[in-house]
Chain A
Amino acid sequence: MMQAFLGDPMAMILLTGALVATSGALLGTFLVLQRQSMLSDAISHSIVFGIVVVWLLTHAQSGPLQIAGAALTGVLTVFLTEMVARTRRVKRDAAIGLVFPALFAAGVLLLNLYARDIHIDSHTVLLGEIGFVWLDTMPLAGFEVPQAVVWMSVATLVNLGFVLACYKELKLASFDWQLAAALGLAPTLMFYLLLGLTSVTAVAAFDAVGAVLFIAFVIVPPATAYLLTDRLSLMLLLAVLVGVASTLCGYPLAVRLDVSIGGTMASMTGVFLLLAFLLSPRYGVLGHWRNRRVKYSG
Chain B
Amino acid sequence: MSWWSFERRWLAVIWQTLLPSGTPGGLALGARDVPLDRFLDELIAFAPRRVTLGARLCVWLLTFCPLFVIGRFALLSALDDDERLAVLQKLAASDVYLVRELPTLFKMLGALGFAGLPAVQAEVGIAVRDEAPPDWVGAEKP
| A-B interaction | no
